[in-house]
Chains A and B, each alone.
Chain A
Amino acid sequence: DAGITQSPRHKVTETGTPVTLRCHQTENHRYMYWYRQDPGHGLRLIHYSYGVKDTDKGEVSDGYSVSRSKTEDFLLTLESATSSQTSVYFCAISGASQGIYGYTFGSGTRLTVV
């Protein structure tokens, strides 16, 4: 497909446990983003990255951290999962640095915190 994959696709975890979601791209795009989507809120930006080891916070970053040690991987970590972090998480990539317009989104990870 579009060269972006998210793993896992589904996960159920217990409150208080750490969780890491992975976004992997094969497009060599510079920009990567993590969003969450909840009913009534649309998509909200959690963190984003402009390159290796270059990340910044979005509008709902509390309780989340990210890492990008390689161009192709952008990891989202919930240090201690809470029920409020039950959501669908989407990763996106952008090829703007290569003159490619628009974001490409992954298929999403559905996370349930019980």
Chain B
Amino acid sequence: DAKTTQPNSMESNEEEPVHLPCNHSTISGTDYIHWYRQLPSQGPEYVIHGLTSNVNNRMASLAIAEDRKSSTLILHRATLRDAAVYYCILGGTQGGSEKLVFGKGMKLTVNP
């Protein structure tokens, strides 16, 4: 399975933008890039996914490098509620019929 590399942790300040990096140098042409996050004492929740083009939704933006070997999840204005473990995952489809393999993720701390 293609793997991803994330920092173990990051810190940001409330109300500032935060960029969460992910490297996936062995990504295949059919792999989608998925981001999930897990708030304390909760199950993971879907954030965003993309294939080649940058993507935006109400939660975040996903910027994908032209060679697709890295991507960045962008939280435009961090809030305390964004403090969570963020998972960058590669999946061969749009995240349903093919099982997703979660790594250890990256812990984001948001300072007031």
Contact = CB atoms under 8 A, between A and B. Distances in A.
Nearest to A44: B102
Contacts of A102: 34, 36, 46, 49, 95-96
A101 B95 contact: yes
Contact count band on A = 20 to 34
A74 interface: no
Interface string B75-105: 0000000000001000001111101111111
Most buried by A among B34, B93, B99: B99
B99 A48 contact: yes
B46 A103 contact: yes
Nearest to A4: B43
Contacts of B94: 96, 101
Given A90-B44, A105-B43, A100 B102 contact: no
A75 B8 CA distance: 33
Given A42-B104, A103-B46, A33 B99 contact: yes
A40 B103 CA distance: 10
Interface string A28-59: 00010101000011111100101000000011
B96 A97 contact: yes
Interface string B26-51: 00000000101000001111100100
Contacts, number: 65
Contacts of A44: 102
B102 A42 contact: yes
A90 B43 contact: yes
B101 A59 contact: yes
A104 interface: yes
Contacts of A100: 96
A18 B90 CA distance: 35
B99 to A, nearest CB: 5
A103 B34 CA distance: 10
A103 B101 CA distance: 12
Interface string A94-114: 111100111111111000000
